[in-house]
Amino acid sequence: EKKGVGLIDMAGLAQKGGEVFSHMRIARVPEDIHSIRVHAGSADLILSGDIVVAGGKKALASMRPQTKVVVNTAEMQPGQFTRDVNFSLPSERLKHAIVSHSSRETTHLVDAQRLATALLGNSIATNLFLVGYAYQIGGLPLTAAAIERAIELNGEAVPMNIAAFRWGRKAAHDMAGVEALVKPAVTPSAATSLSSSLDEIIARRVEFLTRYQNSAYAERYATRVATIGKAEASRASGRQGLTEAVARNLFKLMAIKDEYEVARLYTDGAFAEQVKKTFDGENLRFEFHLAPPLLAKTDPTTGRPRKISFGPWMMKGFKALAAMKGVRGTAFDLFGRTHERRMERQLLADYETVLDEIAAKLSADNHALAVGLAALPEKIRGFGPVKARNVEVTKKEEAALLEQFRAGPSPAMKLAAE
């Protein structure tokens, strides 16, 4: 049957950071299409490969309660994350906005990129996977044969795209069956899986710090976290946000990626295994670009250390350096005398002092302030001058929060706590 199709692309910068927003109308004959643009509240289908675009003003304005919405939930960071180190994608807020503008019954939030990549080995298959899903739920007034014929006529990766279309249909009909097919044959290892509980968060970090330095160092961490945990349990019953913030951020300050740690990570076997899985051949040649604090000169233009190239022999140097981790922080630690390493040790000492104060003065009323203080190290990122700038900003915020913590919570905060 002859169909009329009207199409207009509202293209941004595409892969360079902008969105591509298309209006499409389908009619029995071209003469039935009087306007290409889909007006506000009149869309029959919203088909989106990016949840940020689906949750944007343009897409939301097109929705109505009857609109079928199929959205890929894979998180693709917009350009803002390169300008804001604290940026995080508000996925839950976007999902809520989409559902509230259409309806829960007609909204389909699908992790299409993960499924398509697992099934077909290429994330590009996500687009046709979504088309198949939309077709199966009745969102496209076309026949499956017509869509597959269009894929053939396009001539690009035809077998993969037809398979993606069919897998999308299958997912709409039997998501549990598709998920069962892509489920890993073995449970992810502890090195790659995420912690599912506070106890696991702590246990994994204790294990890591034991390898990082030794069991005494790991015990220092565990004791600090346990002290905060007891204080939170007794004075802010039912909450564990403070303990989790301390578990994550104390670890971050204790497990800095210094010279000894870089050497250990290159030589503990994991790096060699990753290289083996990624590259074929036995005659691989390594070249390392490093800025050793005792050897690297400062670039007069950027003010940052200039990197130096080192050949394959550096792997032997890494092994020797990794074996010397016991001198870390002692009088024999040559690297520990640099400004950055001294700053890192001071940050840890300051943080432990703050934790002592929190443990002594914690209450249900000031719990939120305590969590804010404990989470501040999350904002300290980067190396060298970048890290120094982040430390300066974070220290100012710490001073302000400490002042509030010591003064006691405001009436509004007490009300929120209640």
d(CA 72, CA 110): 5
d(CA 401, CA 370): 9
Pairing of strands 4-11, 20-27: antiparallel
Ordered per-residue pLDDT tens for the chain, 418 residues: 445 555 554 544 444 455 677 888 888 888 888 887 888 888 999 999 988 888 888 899 999 999 999 999 987 665 555 555 555 557 778 888 999 999 999 999 999 999 999 999 888 999 999 999 999 999 999 999 999 999 999 999 999 999 999 999 999 999 999 999 988 654 555 555 555 689 999 999 999 999 999 999 999 999 999 999 999 999 998 889 999 999 999 999 999 999 999 999 999 988 888 888 777 767 788 899 888 777 778 888 777 778 889 988 999 999 999 999 999 989 999 888 888 899 999 999 999 999 999 999 999 999 999 999 999 999 888 877 788 888 999 999 999 999 999 987 655 545 445 5
Whole-number CA gyration radius for the chain: 27
Residue 56 burial class via C-beta count within 10 angstroms: exposed 0-12, middle 13-18, buried 19 and up: middle
pLDDT at 279: 79
pLDDT at 186: 46
d(CA 297, CA 311): 19
Which residues lie closer than 8 Å to 325 by C-beta, 6 or more apart?
212, 213, 260, 261, 264
pLDDT at 86: 56
pLDDT at 37: 84
Within 10 angstroms of residue 345's Cβ, the number of other Cβ atoms is 14
d(CA 418, CA 411): 11
How far from the centroid of its chain's Cα atoms is residue 391's Cα? 22
| Assigned token pair, 167 | 């897998």
pTM reported for the whole predicted model? 0.60
pLDDT at 177: 93
| Assigned token pair, 122 | 């290429």
Closest among 334, 339, 328, 325 to 387, alpha carbons compared:
339
Closest among 291, 325, 333 to 310, alpha carbons compared:
291
Residue 79 burial class via C-beta count within 10 angstroms: exposed 0-12, middle 13-18, buried 19 and up: exposed
d(CA 343, CA 387): 10
d(CA 110, CA 350): 45
d(CA 370, CA 354): 9
Give the torsion sign (CA, 205, 209, 214, 217). negative
> Are the beta carbons of 203 and 218 closer than 8 angstroms?
no
How far from the centroid of its chain's Cα atoms is residue 154's Cα? 35
Within 10 angstroms of residue 110's Cβ, the number of other Cβ atoms is 22
pLDDT at 13: 45
pLDDT at 237: 86
